[in-house]
Structure 1
């Protein structure tokens, strides 16, 4: 962290001004809370600023009250530090600065990054987000979460590209075809099993064929917001640690935006041990899914009537992260339905996933039990294989994950891989030693 003696001469005057203004504000009246217009001459305008864009739903940084130029933000940050201002008073400034650094390193224009512009206008930025995660991983051997995010992003970005092409999995023709195919499969199974199908499957069969392009565009907008939200939360911490280590993480935490759970992740990462890095990976994955975007997934699944459930379930059907050893979502938790058919216990095996990615508990179960262990095994136990997966060009690798090229086979698998079989009879437990047999009881 920069000390008073390190401040450049041109900033010392600004530091004195800040100190005097803080003292006057303390004596005369409380410091103003909320966004104040940015002025180059009044450093106190950087203090006590509320974040009016905390979840990345609009272009810019965390607040419209501050610039997004990293040089200007750095000058103000150094002045606040040198003046001895409490870190919580310039917390939004700190986050905005490290976000601006991260965006500049990723080649992303924060002012032009607007999810409301839609997919076609932001596809280049979608790619840059995941390319940057890979860059961060390859710049520090402890940044395991960014490596996992980059690899998973190869599949996610491929899905975005598919969505951008007519007839892709979530293009309206693809949705209609998948919904109609599943509906046809349901017609061919016994009613006892059909009636026990999860609501998501029934909605796919009934609502899926009726979706419009506006529904798909709405869903894409929701995904773009979540992608931006994750970047805004996680990248500033990685950039801060890469530049200034744990003191910068502690300073960010003082803003109130980062809790002890994730700060402990950085302490574990900072230990440099495989065990510490493994714990950091799990904690950062938990922050991403259980804190940053958990509410947004809930709102998306509940949005637009039944449309949210249908589209989040289709995303689950196509989910297959490009991480060696990780399972496709349907393979991790396949849907099986047990029912008595004609008085005989039967089980229906389907090619569909038995959960919806948008639901918190099964999503975290998959990440905790499958995705994180698979990536951890790669980076911790097989480091010699890492360059093959993480030292590659992003777009060519992501192209291999596109569903569009395999859509006919994919839809065929989803609509024909239904098997009804007798349910296995549970074994009869052996009687405990000394227990009376049925013959004895009968006599």
Structure 2
């Protein structure tokens, strides 16, 4: 009997334990399961710390560079009703990744700080892509201007590589020495009134070193990436989604009301709309995106930043048909009283430096933009110009090939009267 009672007692204990376990399991099943936070939450409220193009990769290192991952995060944020202002950098990064994929550019490796050799293909590919956009979308007038005029700067970029290796033949030293010789034979009363950039070229041009050129190349590459990062993603968003893509970028704070108006103008598919958009986008590019960066470049490396930006202005001639070189558009002309007579000096050198925003904008609106509008308004002509290989355009604009012409202009057009 004792053994039977002990067994029955044990069975009752086991039954109670089993009941308790059943209740516990049942109770746990009634507790709602904890949901993992959606992946996009890690991508909200991020600043665009690399929006100025100074570093490698995308806008924020916390964001992935994989297009499908970015797209999935965006779709989830939209589906959950997240305010666009919270996912602005995520949205911008997505369209930037789309842009670099379409441009055949490796965004992860695009780092101006790595120097010319590491970025040379990317530097050219940016302009190849502008022509792709302009040829595929006939309303993308700004892309056409960026390809043609920007490609002219690309020519100078490649020249700077050459000059950096052979500073004495031919290049900035030769140009500076030619200006110095002319100033020595010019009355001092006139020399005192010559723009400071011309005098600086004469006195400092021969001191330019390879390190100065390398620094300037990096500055140009930073500005190039900044422009691409700012303006190309909105072009891809419109190409893919129309005004819905632009409106989302506006709601997210990626673009402002002025540039949204530019896209509304493009969406009208009219000539007047394309002209309005061209001017607004060019204004954004030159007066907001890179204006401060030009200021920093001009003031950098002691006097050498100013010398290099002025040399770019002297040698630069945007390849838009009909555009005048800066020195033809605004030649430096001064007058002075010399022994009771008014004497004037007219030079073939520009009276402005491309790094200075006000005079740069005067040139753009006074000659560059109007000639581009003329070209775009003649569609068959525009197709020929835009359809020419970027590499042909690059070869036409090489500054080293133009040095003899520039020096010949100096000696024949430096005129006293």
Q: What is the TM-score with the length of structure 1 in the denominator?
A: 0.84
Aligned twin of 1:224: 221
Aligned twin of 2:276: 279
Is residue 77–residue 94 contact of structure 1 (8 Å, CA) maintained in 2? yes
Shift of 1:104: 0.3
SS at match of 1:339: strand
Q: What is the correspondence of 1:257-336 to structure 2 with a 5 Å cutoff?
A: 257-336=254-333
Shift of 1:415: 4.6
Distance 1:169 1:184 in 2: 22
Aligned twin of 1:122: 119
Distance 2:167 2:347 in 1: 21
Shift of 1:111: 1.1
Is residue 155–residue 398 contact of structure 2 (8 Å, CA) maintained in 1? yes
Distance 2:393 2:167 in 1: 21
Aligned with 1:400 (options 396, 400, 404): 396
Aligned twin of 2:45: 48
Compared with structure 1, are the counterparts of its residues 166 and 192 closer, same or farther at alpha carbon in structure 2 (3 Å cutoff)?
closer
Question: Which structure 1 residue ranges, 5 or more long, are not aligned?
Answer: 1-16, 22-40, 422-443
1:389 aligns with 2:402: no
Distance 2:164 2:115 in 1: 18
Aligned with 1:198 (options 195, 198, 216): 195
Q: How many residues align?
A: 384
Distance 1:52 1:305 in 2: 28
Aligned twin of 2:235: 238
Shift of 1:254: 2.3
Aligned twin of 1:413: 409
Shift of 1:191: 1.1
Distance 1:216 1:88 in 2: 41
1:359 aligns with 2:353: no
Distance 1:409 1:325 in 2: 18
Q: What is the correspondence of 1:108-187 to structure 2 with a 5 Å cutoff?
A: 108-166=105-163, 174-187=171-184
Distance 1:231 1:415 in 2: 40
Distance 2:165 2:192 in 1: 30
Distance 1:197 1:170 in 2: 26
Question: Which structure 2 residue ranges, 5 or more long, are not aligned?
Answer: 1-32
Shift of 1:252: 1.1
Is residue 48–residue 89 contact of structure 2 (8 Å, CA) maintained in 1? yes
Aligned twin of 1:64: 61
SS at match of 1:336: strand
Aligned with 1:88 (options 85, 88, 108): 85
For residues 246-290 of structure 1, the C-alpha deviation after alignment (integer angstroms, 9 at most, x for no partner) is: 111121122323211111111111111111110000000000000
Shift of 1:179: 1.0
Q: Which is greater in Rg? A: 2
Q: Which runs of 4+ in 1 moved over 6 A?
A: 167-172
Shift of 1:170: 7.7
Is residue 171–residue 216 contact of structure 1 (8 Å, CA) maintained in 2? no
Aligned-residue RMSD, C-alpha: 1.9
Distance 1:402 1:168 in 2: 16
Compared with structure 1, are the counterparts of its residues 362 and 128 closer, same or farther at alpha carbon in structure 2 (3 Å cutoff)?
same
